[in-house]
């Protein structure tokens, strides 16, 4: 495995890259895709109650023929309800006796008893590690304040364009030994092309002779954060796994990406210019225009298409 592991605050270790079965994989039969990921070198496989992929991931695990100890499996409690039933349901779907990591999928699922139930799951050996997902710094602070077992992981959306807003969360997590997992890190390529980070990413890619995707993943890796990624393409998976063998970005390259990301993503019009998701972006633009017209009418400054 080119990627190593990171130490968790409970004495366990977590692989530094994971194959996710959410996003575009939700509700699909992921057997082939997960088998492909395992063949490519992924040992960390990520699912959730809400993804509808636990059963077919379980099939891929069984058909891999690998010892259970060779794989690291994460699932998430995603819907309000009995937590003990939920984790046992996930284990049944996956055909496993334990999870390596079990996460609370969203902070809205947390009440005074939720984390106690998660602590019981760890005590009972149903999950080796427990953690959370999509928690901001205030939510994480509130949980840690009363927790008997500090969360081992917080899985969040993280990319160069929201890194500045997440720094306080990352610093708090590091202080408590909470490992951050990052999903949607390729947003500068998939959602916000043509933005400020394109320039430093392109420069680093040229220096190293690698792809912009690999530069972003090196950037995530430089922060000591676990990469959660996905693709149906074996070539892309090989591209991702190759990052583990690449030399690191320089401090100057990391700083340049941080600084460019702090400027924010490109505007809606810039996204239109670059032709990505044109219908979705046009829909956003139309919705914004209608909202402005509606507000103008409310304020009595718009009449029959003529601004007054």
CATH number at residue 158: 3.20.20.100
Residues 245 and 290 in one domain: no
Q: What is the pLDDT of residue 2?
A: 75
pLDDT at 270 > cutoff 80:
no
In 3D space, the residue among 110, 51, 108, 59 whose CA is nearest the CA of residue 76 turns out to be 51
Residues 303 and 162 in one domain: no
Please indicate whether residue 268 or residue 39 has the higher confidence score (pLDDT).
Answer: 39
| Spatial separation of the C-alpha atoms in residues 88 and 179, rounded to whole Å | 25
Residues 34 and 138 in one domain: yes
In 3D space, the residue among 189, 103, 110 whose CA is nearest the CA of residue 152 turns out to be 103
Q: What is the pLDDT of residue 267?
A: 80
Residues 284 and 161 in one domain: no
Q: What is the pLDDT of residue 296?
A: 46
Q: How many Cβ atoms are within 10 Å of 28's Cβ, its own excluded?
A: 15
Task: Write down the mean pLDDT value for the chain.
Answer: 91
Residues 221 and 111 in one domain: yes
Number of domains in the chain: 2
Q: What is the pLDDT of residue 305?
A: 33
The proportion of the chain whose per-residue pLDDT surpasses 70, expressed as a percent, equals: 86
pLDDT digits (tens, 9 = 90+) for 240-266: 999 999 999 999 999 999 999 999 999
Q: Which domain holds residue 151?
A: 5-263
Residues 176 and 288 in one domain: no
Mean pLDDT of 271-277: 49
Binding-site positions read 105
pLDDT digits (tens, 9 = 90+) for 279-296: 455 555 555 656 555 444
Mean pLDDT of 195-206: 98
Mean pLDDT of 217-231: 98
- Helix residue ranges, H only, 3-110: 31-40, 54-64, 83-94
Mean pLDDT of 186-198: 97
Q: What is the pLDDT of residue 300?
A: 42
pLDDT at 274 > cutoff 50:
no
Q: What is the pLDDT of residue 280?
A: 52
Residues 200 and 282 in one domain: no
The SS3 assignment for 289 reads helix
| Spatial separation of the C-alpha atoms in residues 173 and 273, rounded to whole Å | 38
Looking at the annotation, which residues are catalytic? 51
Residues 144 and 15 in one domain: yes
pLDDT digits (tens, 9 = 90+) for 8-37: 999 999 999 999 999 999 999 999 999 999
Residues 259 and 293 in one domain: no
**8 A C-beta contact, residue 36 and residue 45:** no
Q: What is the pLDDT of residue 278?
A: 47
Residues 42 and 90 in one domain: yes
pLDDT at 66 > cutoff 70:
yes
Binding-site positions for substrate read 105
Residues 237 and 121 in one domain: yes
Backbone angles phi, psi at 95, to 5 degrees: 60, 45
Mean pLDDT of 136-157: 98
Q: What is the pLDDT of residue 86?
A: 98
Mean pLDDT of 89-94: 98
pLDDT at 170 > cutoff 50:
yes
Residues 234 and 282 in one domain: no
């Amino acid at each position: 495995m080119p990627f190593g592991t990171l130490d968790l605050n409970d004495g366990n270790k977590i692989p530094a890259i994971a194959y996710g079965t959410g996003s575009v994989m939700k509700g699909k039969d992921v057997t082939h895709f997960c088998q492909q990921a395992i063949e490519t070198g992924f040992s960390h496989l990520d699912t959730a109650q809400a993804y509808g992929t636990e059963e077919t991931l379980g099939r891929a695990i069984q058909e891999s023929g690998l010892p259970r100890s060779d794989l690291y499996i994460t699932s998430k409690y995603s819907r309000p309800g009995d937590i003990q039933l939920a984790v046992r349901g996930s284990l049944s779907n996956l055909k496993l006796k334990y999870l390596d990591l079990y996460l609370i999928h969203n902070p809205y699922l947390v009440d005074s008893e939720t984390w106690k139930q998660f602590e019981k799951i760890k005590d009972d050996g149903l999950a080796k590690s427990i953690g959370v997902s999509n928690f901001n710094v205030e939510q994480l602070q509130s949980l840690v304040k009363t927790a008997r077992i500090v969360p081992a992981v917080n899985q969040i959306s993280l990319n160069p364009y929201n890194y500045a807003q997440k720094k306080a969360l990352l610093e708090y997590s590091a202080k408590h030994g909470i490992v951050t997992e990052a999903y949607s890190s390729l947003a500068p390529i998939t959602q916000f092309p043509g933005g400020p980070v394109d320039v430093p990413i392109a420069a680093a890619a040229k220096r190293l002779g690698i792809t912009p995707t690999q530069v972003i993943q090196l950037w995530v890796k430089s922060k000591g954060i676990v990469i959660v990624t996905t693709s149906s393409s074996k070539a892309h998976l090989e591209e991702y796994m190759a990052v583990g063998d690449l030399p690191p970005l320089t401090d100057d390259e990391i700083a340049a990406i941080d600084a460019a990301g702090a400027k924010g993503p490109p505007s809606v019009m810039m996204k239109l210019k670059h032709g990505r998701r044109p219908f979705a972006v046009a829909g956003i633009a139309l919705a914004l225009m209608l909202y402005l017209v509606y507000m103008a009418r409310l304020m009595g400054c718009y009449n029959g298409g003529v601004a007054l």
